Structure 1
């Protein structure tokens, strides 16, 4: 898929984590408005890990139209929805329990109702097909916004360094039973789904992300999983980071003027 044109990532650096959280909320509100103006709904895919806590600025934001939101998961661990490792539980506690998104418009991956990982992945792919197929003629779903985190090893979603799934180009949702960090059993969006989004935002904060952020932005040729997220034009990739995370990268900064 390398022949598709792709824009360079935009790096936005904020002085502190609270400022980042507030500016991320403004960015999401603008992406939401653009989507609703264009097609009457807003499709967003969320990750777990440290990301849900970064959504706090949305809770009381005056311009969020929750009834237009349709929420999906970039990846999920194969655990019950109330399990401490569940991305859905983390997002529910951080956001959904505090805002009025219609329950039918939040699409968790429910392990309790299905058997094995292949079934989980196929069922979630069918959920995406149902949500997007009638509205988009594209080969892959086109999310309005995908929000990602990044691990200190450079992984994102459940796409890990040197894993076979890095080369997956056909499936929308793929299972893996061998994630190198617990829990090992997961399902995840593939790169074609992430890279067809209109906007993709990585959020990385803290000094613990400084080394890997520099590798991803300054040396994308290393091929770390996060560096392989490069949306097909007109899609755009943004990095929202704080000063400690940006301490070691020489990548040029962008003033987003939100």
Structure 2
């Protein structure tokens, strides 16, 4: 059974006994948000990331979700993407297509991947333009106080260094406030060229989930969630703080092993 609790402003924290339990809980969470969004808006705009996230979403391909989720109403985006060919092993699109999108009846034209034949800067500009067109038609909702997109759900992972959505610690793009989609050409992790949603877009989402597993990430989880004082490194994952939306952390026990005094209950 998952342990859950609320730790100050860091949202709901859910700790799971096993990866299988986490995967089941994550599928249930996504399915419920999908149902609510389709009922309210008629669509479900969700942005994915890479890493182990897609594998942890695998339960959505199974019963009951493969039959009960209204897949035709889903619009798929990427919160970050590597600027490589779509059939490249480093492509987040390929990861999602192989592990999820090809196994459920999502409408192909609803899958919005980047232009992989241009530079990282051009890919970011193209992707932002495409999102702007969908905001105009309200396929992607819009924030109440700005023209920024308000995704129904953004799903993120986190690296051992605390990076999220290819936004790395101490990188200049962390302070980008004007653009919706940014780019980097010097990623500390290969491949070097990537595009990413900017932090304001992430923090305007209706729902954000950070899905983190493994003891190698336990210290970063602790620094991102616990109140460790003003000297704490400014980790990108800690900067994920939805302004009016909901934040949920999905953790396994190893990733949560260094968390402090948060009170959890079954």
Give TM-score scaled by structure 2 length.
0.89
12, 15, 19: which one aligns with 2:14: 12
Q: How does 1:107-122 map onto structure 2 within 5 Å?
A: 107-112=112-117, 115-122=118-125
Aligned to 2:162: 154
What runs of 5+ residues in structure 1 fail to find an aligned partner? 1-5
Aligned to 2:34: 32
The 5 Å alignment of 1:98-109 reads 98-109=103-114
Aligned residue among 217, 220, 230 for 2:225:
217
Tell me the alpha carbon deviations over residues 155-201 of structure 1, each in whole angstroms, 9 at most, x when there is no partner.
Answer: 00110010000100110001110111100011110001100000000
Matched, 1:123 2:126: yes
Tell me how far apart the structure 2 counterparts of residues 67 and 137 of structure 1 sit (CA, whole Å): 21
Aligned equivalent of 1:247: 257
Task: Give the distance between the partners of 1:65 and 1:178, measured in 2 at CA.
Answer: 39
2:3 aligned partner = none
Instruction: Give the conservation status (yes or no) of the 8 Å contact 2:83–2:119.
Output: no
Structure 2 distance, partners of 1:80, 1:145, is 26
Indicate conservation of the 8 Å contact 1:35/1:144, yes or no: yes
| Residue 8 of structure 1: how far off its partner (Å) | 3.5
How many aligned residue pairs are there?
248
- Runs of 4 or more above 4 Å deviation: none
Task: Provide the rounded CA distance (Å) in 2 between the counterparts of 1:28 and 1:253.
Answer: 25
Rounded to whole Å, the distance in 1 between the matches of 2:262 and 2:45 is 30
State the partner residue of 1:168: 176
* 2:179 aligned counterpart, secondary structure: coil
TM superposition score normalised by structure 1:
0.92
Structure 2: stretches of 5+ with no match in the other structure: 1-7
What is the alpha-carbon distance in structure 2 between the residues aligned to residue 175 and residue 81 of structure 1?
17
Determine if contact 1:13/1:253 at 8 Å carries over to the other structure: no
1:32 to 1:7, Cα distance in 2 relative to 1, 3 A? farther
Correspondent of 2:201 among 189, 193, 197: 193
Does residue 87 (structure 1) correspond to residue 98 (structure 2)? The answer is no
CA root-mean-square deviation: 1.6
